[in-house]
A and B are shown apart, each in its own frame.
Chain A
Amino acid sequence: MGWFLEANFILIGIITILMAFGTLSTKKVMRAAAFLLLTLVGVALTYLFLGFEFLMGIQITVYAGGILILFLFSVLLTGHEEFKMDLEFAKENIVQILISILLFFTLTALMLSIYGNYQLTGNELVLQAQTKGLTQDFSVALFSHFNYVLPILGVLLFSAMLGSVKLVLREEEL
């Protein structure tokens, strides 16, 4: 079963990276939002592989369901010109492309040199979950040890909502 999980993870990872590249390289912004949806679903599946199915649900409902609709509406409400990622674009942005590739290799080398030799005894949380239930653990922690998280999020999202309403309404509409 191990190699099957591993192969699936690699496949989904490659698809996610390709979709992320499509988000940046596609011609129309609306298509970029569609590619972003597929990227977010790929990341949600990654969470499932890492043993956190609750965050997968949150990712799909909040990101793919909520934030993406916001992006679609803002694409419809704003104008946009077409964008081409061709040879001319590559010539203009050669420094940026090199910086990104260098960043990728530096980050990967750094993290693998630190954590690559990390001897894993197995995924402790997932092992616990097989007996106790992981989502239950998470919910109990959220309402006991981390009980300040949800009120802070409430205040943050409420202020964000008020701020965006104030920004979008015009003076005469108030």
Chain B
Amino acid sequence: MTAIPIEYPLILSSALFSLGVFGVITQKNAVRILIAIELIINAANINFVTFASYNPNADISGWVFALFIIAVAAGEAAIGLAIFINVFRNFGEINVKHLFTLREV
């Protein structure tokens, strides 16, 4: 059934991971950094699904992990965005280059 070689999804996931890391280390807007983190999480998920799908022992646990990671990513995005909305209320901007402290001004 699966005629797709295992290399293709692995290359796709490493490309997404590198782009995510590039975003995290270059972007200044906090929301953009969270978006880049979502790319990294998706790259990890592709790897989980790939190795579960190509496992000769027909093990389903990689897919359960992928489901788990999607839910954890949802929680992470909710908490992160709530923090950044709070930061925007207190500081008036969410540029991470200008945020050196989390205490109240």
**Chain A residues with a Cβ under 8 A of chain B:** 1-3, 5-6, 9-10, 13, 16-17, 20-21, 23-24, 29, 32-33, 36, 39-40, 43, 46-47, 49-52, 55, 58-59, 62-63, 66-67, 70-71, 73-75, 77-81, 83, 89, 93, 96-97, 99-101, 103-104, 107-108, 111-112, 115-116, 118, 120-128, 130, 137-138, 141-142, 146, 149, 152-153, 156-157, 159-161, 163-165, 167-168
Interface contact A118-B6, CB-CB below 8 Å: yes
The verdict on A36 contacting B38 (CB below 8 Å), with A5-B3, A141-B60, A168-B86 known, is yes
Residues of chain B with a CB closer than 8 A to A153's CB: 68, 71
Q: How far is the CB of B64 from chain A (nearest CB, A)?
A: 5
A1–B11 Cα gap in the complex (Å)? Answer: 22
Is A70 a contact partner of B78 (Cβ separation < 8 A)?
A: yes
What string of 1s and 0s marks CB contacts (under 8 Å) between B47-68 and chain A?
0011011111110110110111
Measured between beta carbons, the chain B residues less than 8 angstroms from A89 are 26
* A118 CB contacts on chain B under 8 angstroms: 6, 54
Q: Which residues from chain A contact B5 at a C-beta distance below 8 Å?
A: 6, 120
* A98 to B99 alpha-carbon distance, docked (Å): 26
